[in-house]
Structure 1
Amino acid sequence: MVGSKTAPQDESGGSGAGLLCAQQGGDAMDTEQAIPRHRTAIARPDLSKPIARALADGIITKSSSLFDYGCGRGLDVTRLRALGYEADGWDPSHRPTARIRSADVINLGYVVNVIENPMERAQTLRAAWELAEKVLVVAARPDWEGRTVAGKRHGDGVLTTRGTFQKFFTQDELQKWIKSELQVECIAAAPGIFYVFRDESHAQSLLASRTRRRSVPVHRPKLRQALYDAHRDVMEEIHSFAADRGRLPELWELNGSADRLTTASLSIKRAAAVLRQVIGGEDWDRDLEAAQDRARHDLLVYLALAAFTCRPKASHLPRDIALDIRTLFGSYSAACEQADQLLHSVADQSAVNAACAQSEVGKLTPEALYVHQAASEQLSPLLRVYEGCARVLTGNVVDANIIKLSRTGPKVSYLSYPDFDRDPHPALASSVRADLRRLDVRYTDFRESSNPPVLHRKETFVADDYPERDKFTRLTRQEERAGLLEDSSSIGTREGWRTRLDNAGYQLRGHRLIRTPRRRPGSASA
């Protein structure tokens, strides 16, 4: 049985014709069944979370095909087509005449959570997997959303007040269920969203890309050289690749530049020699050495975390990653040995605590290290693996911008401060906490709180190159001079902070601290 999409904030899910009947040519179940699944299909203003996540992760591309299996009203299909993607979908209630077909990417988004029969639920998952030529995207409602749904227990889920069924999954439960039914490892994309790949090398490419850092500025050419000027695009691509990966590319790794190199009778090594000449030998060597250090750390983090999804055999590695490892470590076994040592260090809470205390980025408290998401790649390899262990469980928590690394126990929290840049003291909107010992993921919503936690000293959370850091620093200095940040235990919440400002006679205008205007004697009070 297949259902339609649900929005996580809504009590919604799938509609109700029989999948097996639809595939085998039999009669569909009466849509006025006891549990009317068709009622759960909704209209949403944007792309669904699993589709948006798959686009962000490069799972859905302009060169791939997508089939939305249980597409509800088909709004994801319509929007993807408008954006130039090849997309189609089927739904037993809303698009029953559409042809069910295979595709590169199959989306089973918020379908399994509306199927009340566990056997039928598993059959639906397996049927969707059969259609997936490259990857299956599975999304279901996380357990914390069950708190907002009124109803009564029904089987392993809830029969809502609208008469529809909802099954809420813990993150670990959903992952284990998918793996058990399909006998294939799956990768957490986000809370309640998983990817299942046909080709293990594609899965490893995704995992490796998550640990590869952003491009860093490199030295630009200082000299004019005719060969460089004549083939500037190719030279810059080779230079950028070396700065990212710590090695020279192979011809097949260049984006359309290989033919131009061949036409010019240039080899990669000859091009690199020209680059070294125009950039300067010392600068080129320094850039390449720094890139190699970054790439080694990135690979160690990737290989350490790959152990959670059964680290691949050397023969199953993507070609580019195999080249990275051979160039930077000499052998796969040597790289895995170092990665294992790193992973074992993460299990030592004292080592984690020491790494937090020594971190060059982030705000350190007795209980935790807090770091902005944009600066997380500047953490030490040990702390990157520590955070990565949580992300293996949660996937990407899209709205989170502050990561809390606990120093007292194996827990990582992803905190959402929606107005971090604009608000001088932003309030916490939500928290997703991963307990690595219990494999438990918990969500806390602060949006309706009258007195949520707020941040101070924002510059301490970000790296030195963060665009707004100087503005944050100036405000902190003003607040320090005014004595507002003393006795910090009483200003950690919105009301506590407002009280401190009022009592001291200050107010904030953007990221500037100003004196509260004094009322004239006899004037009316506000």
Structure 2
Amino acid sequence: MTEQIERHRTAQRRSALSSPMQHLLRFGFLDGSRSLFDYGCGRGDDLRLLSEMKVPATGWDPVFRSDAERQPADIVNLGFVLNVIEDADERRETLKSAFSLARKVLVVSVMLGYQSKREQFATFEDGVRTQRNTFQKYYAQDEFRAYVEKTLGANAIPTAAGICLVFRDAVEEQLFLLARQQVRREWRLLRREPNSEAVAALIQEHREQIDAYWLRALELGRPATPEECPEAQSLMRLVGSWRRVHEWVGRFFSPEEFEAAAIGRQEDLLVYFALSHFGQRRPYSQLPDRLQRDVRFFFDSITKARNAGKRALFATGDSARLEEAAAFCHEELGIGVLNDDHDLTFHQSVLGECLPLIRIYVGCALQLFGDAGSVDLIKVHLQSGKVTFLVYDDFEGAATPRLVERIKVDLPRLRVDFFDYVGEYEPQPLTEDPATFYVR
């Protein structure tokens, strides 16, 4: 008789938030404005920590909290649960059940492991039986994403190795994806002095509202609408009508800075629409209000916006154009290290400063792998259709950082491979000065 699998032995004690919870925190989901349900919460350490953070959170576990109610919430976490269910039908139904409770988003996480990992244990069902008599279903990253999307019939958005978000609300999904492509730019509010002393006095009297409006316009890269500006009513009283606000306020600031803001925002949107075509994602029938305003201002229509994105995406398949973009990024913008026409390597923090073509190319790889914030260096292979993400032990602090993980994304094959440098593999030292991978 086969010994029964002991699922409860996989539950772990934690003194810090689990990795999926940490990702939710980094993306701003745990600000206390959304409720959370932890589906398969184990011993409840995440719940305790979330309670200390004033996040409204509840949870259920078949062993440790079996009496709790499984209830809907804005966010549902299914953290490392699918791995330990040995019955494939139960595993699939558990995923569906968790998604049915999510009003806004489901975060799913699993253990990744490739052939070498699986060979360490005895095969059991479609996974392995560990020495502790637990079951583990190890996934490959691309396999995990495909499984979630097929089971739920919804987009799965990887945010890290073995972690993805599935949005219930299409508008929320678009806002999340838009935010990922919006570069955080610092604006200086370059002012121009008015000719009239009376106007100068008027501006000084209303400086706070005027500066706030112009900063908002710079963030948007276009004139703000009343809905996007808390100071709308006071500015309309000052100028006479909303149509005059932008033109009037703009007289007292640098037009060059606003032009740069408009170009930057249009580039962000181009990257967004290009990546929306990658992987043949379903088109959205409803756009967020802000995106509708962006489309009208920068592209005239959603059809033109999508077509522009499609052309930009197809351009990444032209190695000559990639080489040209990489050379411009390195030589004109001072970004990273260029290895002839083979590859461009740079720190993840300067991705937003690259030309849109490079951002789209890397963005395609991130759609398969996760979030650039979890790596140190990005290597863009200009000939092979690949992107490599490199993680070092202490990139900014160590005198000679050592490579601990390499993630290679093969775009033509839609494949993600992970390589670590621990145990029997000697970590490789970084031979270049880390400063060379930023902007000169």
**TM-score normalised by length of structure 1:** 0.76
Instruction: Find out whether 1:383 has 2:358 as its counterpart.
Output: yes
Shift of 1:313: 4.8
Give the equivalent residue in structure 2 for 1:69: 39
Who is 2:375 aligned against?
A: 400
Out of 171, 180, 185, the residue aligned to residue 201 of structure 1 is 171
1:399–1:418 CA contact under 8 A, matched in 2: no
Within 5 Å, give how 1:315-326 maps onto structure 2.
Answer: 315-326=285-296
2:420 aligned with 1:445: yes
Contact 1:90-1:99 within 8 A present in 2 as well: yes
- Give per-residue Cα distances to partners, 1:419-469, cap 9 Å, x unaligned: 2222343222211111112222122222444451313133321014xxxxx
SS at match of 1:278: coil
State the partner residue of 2:223: 248
Give the CA deviation at 1:228.
3.6
Question: Within the alignment, does 1:373 sit opposite 2:385 as a pair?
Answer: no
Asked if 2 retains the 8 angstrom alpha-carbon contact of 1:67 and 1:107, the reply is yes
SS of residue paired to 2:57 = strand
Which residue in 1 is equivalent to 2:104?
Answer: 134
CA contact under 8 A between 1:150 and 1:161: conserved in structure 2? no
| Gaps in structure 1 of 5+ consecutive residues | 1-32, 465-526
Using the TM superposition, give the Cα deviation of residue 148 of structure 1 relative to its aligned residue in structure 2, in angstroms.
8.1
Amino acid at match of 1:277: R
**CA shift for structure 1 position 396:** 1.1
Instruction: Decide whether aligned partners of structure 1 residues 433 and 111 sit closer, same or farther in structure 2, where only a CA change above 3 A counts.
Output: same
Contact 2:74 2:105 survives alignment (8 Å): yes
Residues matched between the structures, number: 428
Residues 103 and 169 in structure 2, CA contact (< 8 A), matched pair in contact too: no
Paired residue type of 1:75: D
Q: Decide whether aligned partners of structure 1 residues 331 and 419 sit closer, same or farther in structure 2, where only a CA change above 3 A counts.
A: same
1-structure distance, mates of 2:314, 2:203? 47
Opposite residue 164 of structure 1, the aligned amino acid is T
1:358 equivalent in alignment to 2:358: no
Q: 1:74 & 1:314 partners in 2: Cα distance?
A: 37
Q: Deviations over 1:123-149 (max 9, x none)?
A: 000111111111111111112497288
Q: Counterpart of 1:239?
A: 214
| Structure having the higher Rg | 1
Deviation at 1:99, TM superposition (A): 1.8
CA contact (8 A) 2:187 2:215 kept: no
User: Contact 1:427–1:455 at 8 Å: present in 2 too?
Assistant: no
Give the distance between the partners of 2:239 and 2:428, measured in 1 at CA: 64
1:456 aligns with 2:432: yes
Q: CA deviation at 1:266?
A: 6.5
Cα pair 2:158 2:367 within 8 Å, conserved: yes
- 8 Å CA contact 1:149–1:160 kept in 2: the answer is no
| Partner SS, residue 59 of structure 2 | strand
Are residues 227 and 36 of structure 1, via their aligned partners in 2, closer, same or farther at CA, if it must alter by over 3 Å? farther
The aligned counterpart of 1:333 is 303
> What are the equivalent positions in structure 2 for 1:143-158 lying under 5 Å apart?
143-144=113-114, 147=117, 150-158=120-128
Q: What letter corresponds to residue 458 of structure 1 in structure 2?
A: P
- Asked if 1:275 corresponds to 2:249, the answer is yes
Q: How many Å apart are 1:231 and its aligned residue?
A: 3.8
Counterpart of 1:173 in structure 2 is 143
Cα deviation, residue 235, structure 1: 2.6
On the 8 A contact 2:385/2:410 being kept in 1, the answer is yes
Residue 80 (str. 1) matches residue 55 (str. 2): no
Which residue of structure 2 aligns with residue 479 of structure 1?
Answer: none
Specify which structure has the bigger relative contact order, considering alpha-carbon pairs within 8 angstroms and separated by 6 or more residues.
Answer: 2
Distance (whole Å) between structure 2 residues aligned to residue 309 and residue 267 of structure 1: 45
Output the CA distance in 2 between the equivalents of 1:383 and 1:351: 10
| Secondary structure class of the residue paired with 1:408 | coil
With structure 2 as the length reference, what TM-score do the two structures score?
0.90
The one-letter code sitting in structure 1 at the alignment partner of 2:299 is F
Which residue of 1 is the match for residue 197 of structure 2?
Answer: none
Distance 1:329 1:363 in 2: 34
Which of 402, 414, 417 does residue 389 from structure 2 map onto?
A: 414
CA RMSD of aligned residues (A): 2.4
Q: Which AA in structure 2 matches 1:276?
A: G
